[in-house]
Structure formats: C-alpha cells, structure tokens
Amino acid sequence: MYISHLWEWQCLCCCINLVPLSPPSLPPSLPPSGIIAKELSSLEQEIQELRASGTTLSSEPEFEMADIMYFCRRGMESIVDDEVTKRFSAQELESWNLLTRSNYNARHISLRLSVLWGLGLFIRYGFLLPLRVTLAASGIGLLVVLTTIVGFLPSGWTYLSEKIHLMSYRICVRSLTAIITYHNSENKPKNGGICVANHTTPIDVIILANDGCYSMVGQIHGGLIGVVQRAMVKSSPHIWFERSEVKDRHLVAKRLSNHVADKTKHPILIFPEGTCINNTSVMMFKKGSFEIGCTVYPVAIKYDPRFGDAFWNSSKFGMVNYLLRMMSSWAVVCSVWYLPPMSREEGEDAVQFANRVKAAIATQGGLVDLLWDGGLKRGKVKNTFKEEQQKLYSKVLVGDQEDQGEDRPQEAEEEEGDQNEDRPLEDYTPRPLEDYTLRLLEHCSLRLQGEEEERGSETPMRVGVPLLPGY
C-alpha cells in the first residue's frame, strides 16, 4: 500500500512543475469573484452619478429616464453570472492544471505544454486510473466482507469493527490519492456529539472517516450502495432511513437524539447544507441537526482545486462518471480543520446557532459565507426582495420622508411583524452599512427558510435599509 502510494508521488512530482505539494496550512484567500466585473457601488451612488451627468439642475433628485439603465444592467449581470447559481458549478482556476476539464480558454499556447499535457493524459489514464480502480474495488470488497464477518461476532468486539472501518477507508483514500492534512486533531469529534461539515462531494465522507469513526446518516439505497450500507450497519450503528421515513421529521429527530444519548456510539456525521456546493462558499445550514441539543463539532473541509476539482455537479455527472473523473485527476488534496466544539447558548434558537456554526466553518476554510439556501439549486426565491429594491430606489428619488412629514405607505409592511409603530425619529439616523446589511441578511435568511410562522421573535425590518451587497 505504501509502495503504491510512493510510486504515485514520484510520478506526480516529475510531471507537475507546480508549487510544493504540501497543502496550505493557512486557509487560502477567497477565490476570484466571477466571470464579469461587478461594480460594487450601491444603488444610491449610481443614481447620483446619473444625476450628475444628467440634465436636471435642481438639487432635489427627480426621476430620470436613464435610471432604468441601472436596473437593466444589474439584471443582465445577474443573467450572465450570479452569486448563488455559480456555486452549483465547478470553480474556475486562474492557471491551468493540465486537465482539459478545467480549461476554458483552450488555445494552443506552446508545443511543450501540449506535450506535457499528452504525457499527463497517458499517465493519468494508463497508469493511475487502473491502479486506483483496483484499490477502490479491493477497499470496498474488504469493507463488505469483513464487516459482515464481524457482525456475526458478539457485540463486545467494537474495537475490531473500528479497525476494519478505518482500514477500509484508508484503502479507499489511497485509491483516490487523497492527500489530506488534518489540523487541530485535539478537537476531533467525540462520542455523543454531532459532527457537521461543509459538503462538496460524497468523498467528504471518506475523508472524514479516514481519521475517526463516525455514524453515517442517510437514506438506504438499492444496488451496490445498499449492499455496502447493510454490511456496515452489521458491525457498527449507522442510521439508515427507509425512503418513507425520511419525510417524517420527528422520527428522524428522535432516532438522532437516541443515538446521541448513547455515549458508546460514535458521533453522527451530518452535512447540513443538504446538497453539494462547489467549495468556494458555504450555504445555509438546515436547522434540523441543530435542534437536537447536543454538542456540535464543526469541521471545515477545503479542497485544493489545482490538483483536480472535487465538486460533484449532480446535474452534470452521475456518480460513476464522477468517481472516474476523480480517479483520473492528479490527486485530491485537501485540508481538514477540526474546530472547537460548540453548543447552543441561552436564548439562541436553532437558526442562530446554525448560522454561528456556519460562520465559524466559513472563516476557517476561507470560504464565502452565504445566506442563500442550497435548495435554490432547484427552487425559486420569494417576492419580498423586489419590494426592498423598490423601497431603496424610492428613498433616493423622493427623499427622506421624515423631512417632508408625509406618512409613507410603508406601514403596509404587514409581512414583517408589526412591531415598529412608535419608533422615535432618531432611530432613522443612518448607521454603518455593515450593521444594516447584517440585519437585512439575517432577516432574509429567516424568510428563506419557509415554515417559520411559529417564530414570534422575528426582528422587524427597518425602513431605508441598503440592500444585499452588490446592489
């Protein structure tokens, strides 16, 4: 096993003349912001600019025909590239890593590069791929056989079962040539807790399970995966749900809490985003796992995209195709940071706790912390956001209403919990942008989660709040 590993290292080193292969120990800087240059000026600034070049001389802002251009351009920009949708496709690299799949600007640069690419292709497909497939097959085979055998032994043999699991995962990790650096192992998840991590690919499971024993949660499948699942559960308590049970939230929560209450069982591994995101950002965490009320061990996983893109775009590739791609990339290089355990504090509800954990993971991994829901991969957004835009624009146009003493129709804000009747005027003095933006984002995240009617403590939205960054 070590010999094969060494061989692969030799090949990688002589073929790729990239920077040192050791993964970075500090979180990497944020990735470039997209394929188009977005102006970061706000709506107010842009409208002022339009005014300055426009024909009106009066100091009071008025409607200009050109104002529509601002909205038009923003709309077109979002059609070409937007913050959320692009998280569901692979991250682009600044320099080419000799994999055709990451190359958008394929131009013939030089003969040398093409030769190098050809050589890389031969090595990857002719040598590395067969080796890896063999390893993977043996790893999975061993897992199934050995766990079934251990299942027949009396239940005192948990030590053996752990060893078997660890060994099989290590073989699988080798089969992907995953070079993993674990940081802060003193914070490794302990029994009776829940481990949460950001989700990029199904391989995340193998990466984490390589270093410790976890109980997996998931739906039971048919086919090969089902066989593996059933074998695994014979020797160690994983939580597999039938398809019908998945819909029943209470049942799920109950099983999870029962598992957690038993201190001899391994920590549960959960990915609260619910879907695979492309490893440049962390999307909204679903609150279900944070309601159980036990210690949460956050883990941040960051893949180095130079060696192969680990993101699983489930709409583009099936699982087998994805695994083949993974095995024919150079390697899977990643860093795993174990963060200190967190628990829900007094007066904090599940959503706030989830956001706190998410922010910690995003900071550690150098990912963008987004408040949008991963479910937007397949769904839509709500109508109230349009009204926020309109509010802002009208504020610019018609001026500060307090000065004119009119009572604005903004009291038609029934949707945001009518607690803002008798605000004194000083509440409307401008506050730092971050403050507003944070509150708006918080407000938006509350809205995005759907079934929140029972929540009575929703913070009311204030008038004249600037919008999401980028507008």
Partner 1 sequence: MGSTNSTLSRIPNVEELMQETGFTPAHIVRLYDRFEALDKEKTGHLRPQDFGAINRLAMNPIGDRIIGSFFSTGQETVDFHSFVRILAHFRPADKNRPKDPSMPQPVNSRTSKLKFAFQLYDQDKDGKISRAELLQVLRSMLEMQVTEEQLESIADRTIQEADLDKDDAISFEEFRKSLEKVNIDHKMSIRFLR
Residues that bind partner 1 (CB under 8 A): 32, 34-37, 46, 50, 53-56, 62-85, 88-89, 100-101, 103-107, 315-317, 372, 376, 380-381, 383, 385-391, 393-395, 397-398, 408-410, 412, 470
- Which of 128, 107, 60, 305 minimizes the C-alpha distance to 200? 305
66/350 with CB nearer partner 1: 66
234/391 with CB nearer partner 1: 391
- Which of 121, 214, 131 minimizes the C-alpha distance to 177? 131
225/398 with CB nearer partner 1: 398
The amino acid at 158:
T
For the CB of residue 85, give the shortest distance to partner 1 in the complex, in Å.
6
Residues 421, 427, 429: CA angle, nearest 5 degrees: 140
70/214 with CB nearer partner 1: 70
For the CB of residue 418, give the shortest distance to partner 1 in the complex, in Å.
16
Distance from C-alpha of 238 to C-alpha of 269, rounded to nearest angstrom: 10
For the CB of residue 189, give the shortest distance to partner 1 in the complex, in Å.
34
295/410 with CB nearer partner 1: 410
How far, CA to CA in Å, does 94 sit from each of 109, 184, 306, 327?
A: 15, 30, 9, 23
Going across the sheet that includes 332-338, the strands are 178-183, 332-338, 296-303, 194-197, 268-270, 215-219, 239-241
For the CB of residue 443, give the shortest distance to partner 1 in the complex, in Å.
14
For the CB of residue 383, give the shortest distance to partner 1 in the complex, in Å.
8
Residue 217 bridge partners (DSSP): 239
**Contacts of 343 by beta carbon, 8 Å cutoff, 6+ apart:** 294, 295, 296
362/444 with CB nearer partner 1: 444
Distance from C-alpha of 437 to C-alpha of 464, rounded to nearest angstrom: 11
DSSP secondary structure code for residue 127 in this structure: I
CA dihedral 311, 312, 317, 322 (to 10 degrees): 80
For the CB of residue 37, give the shortest distance to partner 1 in the complex, in Å.
4
26/412 with CB nearer partner 1: 412
For the CB of residue 216, give the shortest distance to partner 1 in the complex, in Å.
29
235/278 with CB nearer partner 1: 278
Distance from C-alpha of 102 to C-alpha of 98, rounded to nearest angstrom: 8
98/150 with CB nearer partner 1: 98
230/439 with CB nearer partner 1: 439
Long-range CB contact pairs, 134-140, < 8 A, 24+: 134/175, 135/4, 135/171, 135/172, 135/174, 135/175, 136/171, 136/172, 136/175, 136/176, 136/323, 136/327, 138/171, 139/168, 139/169, 139/171, 139/172, 139/174, 139/175, 140/168, 140/172, 140/228
For the CB of residue 459, give the shortest distance to partner 1 in the complex, in Å.
20
**Contacts of 460 by beta carbon, 8 Å cutoff, 6+ apart:** 413, 416, 417, 418, 419, 420
Distance from C-alpha of 149 to C-alpha of 152, rounded to nearest angstrom: 6
For the CB of residue 41, give the shortest distance to partner 1 in the complex, in Å.
11
96/241 with CB nearer partner 1: 96
How far, CA to CA in Å, does 86 sit from each of 53, 80, 287?
A: 35, 10, 24
Q: Count Cα atoms within 13 angstroms, Cβ side, for 130.
A: 4
287/391 with CB nearer partner 1: 391
For the CB of residue 394, give the shortest distance to partner 1 in the complex, in Å.
3
Distance from C-alpha of 465 to C-alpha of 449, rounded to nearest angstrom: 21
For the CB of residue 376, give the shortest distance to partner 1 in the complex, in Å.
6
For the CB of residue 380, give the shortest distance to partner 1 in the complex, in Å.
6
Residue 303 bridge partners (DSSP): 334
Beta carbons of 356 and 454 less than 8 angstroms apart:
no
